[in-house]
Amino acid sequence: MTTLQLMGQQAKAASYVLAATTTADKNRALLAIADQLEASEAAILAANAEDLAIADGNGVSPALRDRLLLNSSRVQGLANDLRAVARLADPVGEELDGKVLDNGLRLCRRRVPIGVLGVIYEARPNVTIDIAGLALKTGNAAILRGGKETIHSNRILVELIRTALDGCGLPADAVQFIDSPDRALVGELLKLDKYVDMIVPRGGAGLHQLCKEQSTIPVITGGMGICHLYIEPSADFARAIAVVVNAKVQRPSACNALDTLLVRQDAVSFVPQVAAALAAKGVELRLTAEARTALGTPPAGMVVADAGPEDFDTEWLGLVLGIKVVADIDEAIAHIRAHSCDHSDGILTSDVQSAEHFLNQVNSAAVYVNASTRFTDGGQFGLGAEVAVSTQKLHARGPMGLTELTTYKWVARGDYATRR
């Protein structure tokens, strides 16, 4: 039996215990982990310093270094997040669709944990605490595989989680950690379908693609969004500018940030107006010929270029926006269908027929009328937590909350019932 198979077996055994653990006991464990985090702050920061020293030696980018970094306030934040998860409602145990069938069987669907989650993520030690907390809350065991850049931080974080679980009388193996940078182990985890019920990639498009291609376990795919806003002349341009700017610049590295603005041909006067606002935020533009004509002279200092053949299939993840002029709403919809990743797309209009047509015809995970695409987020959607954002269509779409870490089983009670 390989190390990973053993981990799988242990995780499965732990998952049975967790599935039968009361909400109160699960919450007690979450609070114990939070306390342990605070109590272990010095040790956590020391381990994190080791990761940072290696990162600095490798000359990592400031952005990556920031993702690696833990400090006192971030540790405190993680502890507080766990306490917030403890306060959320527990979806496990809920019974749905209860009924008595004609054959006399009393039947319902009961929400139960999924079982064992395999979570693969990149250089963010906070994910270790975050996902362990969400898994524990929903009675799932987890096998974690974090980025090699954070292996020292992850090691101590998982140790303290396991210590806290053990102290609460819960199985430490509910949270396990692949303590090796060997990439072959990711491949092995993705095929551990005997024990692992669901793979959650937390990272960029490449990681999601890898999981989709290699996994024999169901994967929550996402990690990428090419997001669109389409504007009609009836929109309130002044407020529409604020929405476009918000969608583009509020957090440009997010997958729900705006990538492409589609402008109806009789609304092209919007182009220079929105460009002026975007220029003030340092946004660059990629323009079709018609959009370039509509823009006229670019605002002073703004970088403007012709849109290349792949620009409308690019997730910018930065301060770049593509602009294309379309003949009508159906051309906008066709463009979105061809270029979107089914993440988040919206319309800016005052016309009710256009709004409904767009909502009906665009089949992205989130579709908006007169709102920023940046709202596609578990917290913003009031889910209390965000496990992942799915852009595939099975099980869950868009932001996933605690409920999406559960499945159901059919519970049937008969009086020695036989099928005719």
The footprint of its own copies (CB under 8 A) covers: 16, 19-20, 99, 101-103, 105, 107, 112, 114-115, 193, 197-198, 212-213, 216, 218-219, 236, 239-240, 242-243, 246-247, 250, 337, 348, 355, 359-361, 363-372, 374-376, 380-382, 392-395, 397-399, 407-419
Q: What are the structure tokens assigned to 17, written together?
A: 């215990």
Q: Sign of dihedral through CA atoms 220, 140, 14, 109? A: negative
CA diameter of the chain? 81
Distance CA 341, CA 86 (A): 34
Nearer to its own copies, 17 or 168 (CB): 17
* Smallest separation (angstroms) from its own copies to the CB of 212: 5
Please check whether residue 390 is in contact with residue 397, taking contact to mean a CB–CB distance below 8 angstroms.
yes
Nearer to its own copies, 66 or 102 (CB): 102
Distance CA 153, CA 69 (A): 9
Nearer to its own copies, 152 or 397 (CB): 397
Burial grade of 238 (CB within 10 A; 0-12, 13-18, 19 or more): exposed
Residue type for position 88: L
Nearer to its own copies, 64 or 107 (CB): 107
* Smallest separation (angstroms) from its own copies to the CB of 252: 13
Provide the 10 A C-beta neighbour count for residue 163.
15
* Smallest separation (angstroms) from its own copies to the CB of 237: 10
Burial grade of 190 (CB within 10 A; 0-12, 13-18, 19 or more): buried
Nearer to its own copies, 180 or 380 (CB): 380
Please check whether residue 254 is in contact with residue 319, taking contact to mean a CB–CB distance below 8 angstroms.
no
* Smallest separation (angstroms) from its own copies to the CB of 31: 25
3-state secondary structure 89-117: CCCCCCEEEEEECCCCCEEEEEEEECCEE
* Smallest separation (angstroms) from its own copies to the CB of 341: 11
* Smallest separation (angstroms) from its own copies to the CB of 110: 8
* Smallest separation (angstroms) from its own copies to the CB of 176: 19
CA distances from 399 to 27, 336, 366, 388, 414 (A): 23, 20, 9, 6, 38
- Rg, the chain, Cα only: 24
Contacts of 258 (CB under 8 A, 6+ apart): 227, 228, 229, 244, 247, 248, 321, 372, 373
* Smallest separation (angstroms) from its own copies to the CB of 14: 13
* Smallest separation (angstroms) from its own copies to the CB of 147: 24
Nearer to its own copies, 11 or 75 (CB): 11
* Smallest separation (angstroms) from its own copies to the CB of 369: 5
Nearer to its own copies, 25 or 35 (CB): 25
Contacts of 292 (CB under 8 A, 6+ apart): 304, 306
Nearer to its own copies, 87 or 99 (CB): 99
Please check whether residue 150 is in contact with residue 51, taking contact to mean a CB–CB distance below 8 angstroms.
yes
Nearer to its own copies, 100 or 305 (CB): 100
Residue 131, helix vs strand vs coil:
helix
Nearer to its own copies, 153 or 376 (CB): 376
